Structure 1
């Protein structure tokens, strides 16, 4: 007996029929293990991919993007695992691993600073060398000019007026008074061959028993090299009180003898190399003499050994 089936039965049985129900393929995705070897990685990479749902099948539109994401995650996992085995690496703010970079070009500013420093050192060394050489040169010139001393010679002393009389000093004390008026002639010779000299002198004093009875001053002047010059110094003393020294004077018939001594010092300065290198010499002169009233207005000439030059 053939039973007819109703549409409701057919409808209810259609979904449960094994022949008409669609078969869904099951896929499995297996990521490589951290402890797996290279052989396992290669086998897992070449294995047939399994998908859990049609959404993960290659025919689905999202398969490409999903597979790229999964592959990127898989490779990042491999990279993390490999970096984990090597002890780990630092990552920057973008997630990229940091590694040592070979600097092919240095800082050119440092090279410029080194060159500038070297130039300064060379300039300083050149300046120091110039100073040393110039100092040696000046010492040589100074040593060469040192032996050239000015030669001083006292030629004569002319007493124009000499008077001894009684009087009183500015306090009213009575004593003998002395008036002297005369001129002294001096010869100065500069033997230097390559520089001139500046000649000056201390006051020229005419002394009687430690009392300065007359004085004069040599004017400062410049004398050229290898030259000789005669200078005249005017000396004068007016109403000079002698006090106790005057008691030794013997005056008779307006005639008298007065022992005197002439003392002064001549200073010569030579500019060898401008004012940087100079030579300076001093010569002290002392000439004893006796003035007689009858010899007034007559020059007293001095021989070479009449004076001492020190």
Structure 2
């Protein structure tokens, strides 16, 4: 009896497959489901363990490869979309930079045009003012000259040379009128000189003043010489001639007058130069009497 059972067991073991058998049945409860899921053998031997089949491994590997490829494809698509977004952002930035550069160029062009237009218009306006101001030159007349004192005496110069010494005191009166209707002028009268041919005899002081528009004034100034050595160059002036009543000497009076008009501040400043030369005769008998020079002067601009 015992031997038979052993042979039966051996035959059963030999007939049994090498791999464990799986049974699928509807679990009645949660515990039975857990037990069936773990694939317990019908013999309930604790030494048997669960081994996955090659089919299961191949399925897992293919699934993992598929999922990895899907992830790679998904990541590649994501990076492509991100790159497209970055490219679009860069293009937008480039377009914005080009727009800003274009706007700056337009603004710079308008600024340059405005500055040039302003300079041209201001220059034309200044030129018009300058041309208009030149139409209003000042009116100047040398009215009279008075020889108040005339004296020739013997003396010595600073080096001790004996010679005749001349002293003259005279006064001139000049009429000045500013004809400008919209500007005043700064006037300078200098030099004022008295000549005997090429020999310089007397000087007058420099005179400065400001003349308002459409106004006039009379300037009275002096022309003097004191102890001027003659060295015999003026034979008509000699102390040896005795009295001065017989002296009659032709002289030249030269007056330089500069007028500067401030039409538009210091930007438009027309200038008027005038040189006046008058012929006058010194008579020893007419000292202290005015000599009319209205018709005896020549004006040079």
The TM-score, its normalising length taken from structure 2, stands at 0.74
* 2:140 is the alignment partner of 1:145: no
Match among 247, 259, 267 for residue 268 of structure 1: 259
Deviations 1:104-148 (A, max 9, x none): 672397355654564455344333322222122111111111232
Measured in 1, the distance between the counterparts of 2:275 and 2:268 equals 24
Please report how far the alpha carbon of residue 288 of structure 1 lies from its aligned counterpart in structure 2 after TM superposition: 1.7
Measured in 2, the distance between the counterparts of 1:12 and 1:96 equals 65
Q: Which residue of 1 aligns with 2:202?
A: 214
Please report how far the alpha carbon of residue 211 of structure 1 lies from its aligned counterpart in structure 2 after TM superposition: 2.6
Change beyond 3 A, Cα 1:96–1:241: closer
Change beyond 3 A, Cα 1:248–1:167: same
Measured in 2, the distance between the counterparts of 1:54 and 1:65 equals 11
Measured in 1, the distance between the counterparts of 2:209 and 2:9 equals 150
Q: Which residue of 2 aligns with 1:189?
A: 177
Contact 2:190 2:207 in 1 (8 A): no
Q: Which residue of 1 aligns with 2:41?
A: none
Match among 240, 249, 269 for residue 278 of structure 1: 269
Match among 220, 227, 243 for residue 232 of structure 1: 220
Q: Which residue of 1 aligns with 2:64?
A: 69
Point out which structure has higher relative CO (alpha carbons under 8 A, 6+ apart).
2
Contact 2:146 2:288 in 1 (8 A): yes
Change beyond 3 A, Cα 1:220–1:124: same
Measured in 2, the distance between the counterparts of 1:96 and 1:109 equals 25
Measured in 2, the distance between the counterparts of 1:289 and 1:14 equals 170
Q: Which residue of 1 aligns with 2:88?
A: 103
Measured in 2, the distance between the counterparts of 1:126 and 1:219 equals 45
Match among 146, 160, 176 for residue 158 of structure 1: 146
Please report how far the alpha carbon of residue 4 of structure 1 lies from its aligned counterpart in structure 2 after TM superposition: 9.7
Measured in 2, the distance between the counterparts of 1:15 and 1:226 equals 147
RMSD: 3.5
Measured in 1, the distance between the counterparts of 2:79 and 2:293 equals 111
Change beyond 3 A, Cα 1:116–1:254: closer
User: Which residues of structure 1 form unaligned runs of 5+?
Assistant: 26-52, 80-90
User: Which residues of structure 2 form unaligned runs of 5+?
Assistant: 22-50
Q: Which residue of 1 aligns with 2:28?
A: none
Please report how far the alpha carbon of residue 262 of structure 1 lies from its aligned counterpart in structure 2 after TM superposition: 0.6
Contact 1:176 1:246 in 2 (8 A): no
Task: Identify, as 1 or 2, the structure richer in helix.
Answer: 2
Measured in 1, the distance between the counterparts of 2:256 and 2:161 equals 34
Match among 4, 10, 13 for residue 6 of structure 1: 4
Contact 2:244 2:285 in 1 (8 A): no
Deviations 1:66-121 (A, max 9, x none): 553142256589x6xxxxxxxxxxx98x9956886151672397355654564455
| Aligned residue pair count | 263
* 2:248 is the alignment partner of 1:257: yes
Measured in 2, the distance between the counterparts of 1:128 and 1:21 equals 107
Change beyond 3 A, Cα 1:97–1:249: closer
Measured in 1, the distance between the counterparts of 2:78 and 2:187 equals 93
Deviations 1:227-250 (A, max 9, x none): 222111111111111113133447
Q: Which residue of 2 aligns with 1:135?
A: 123
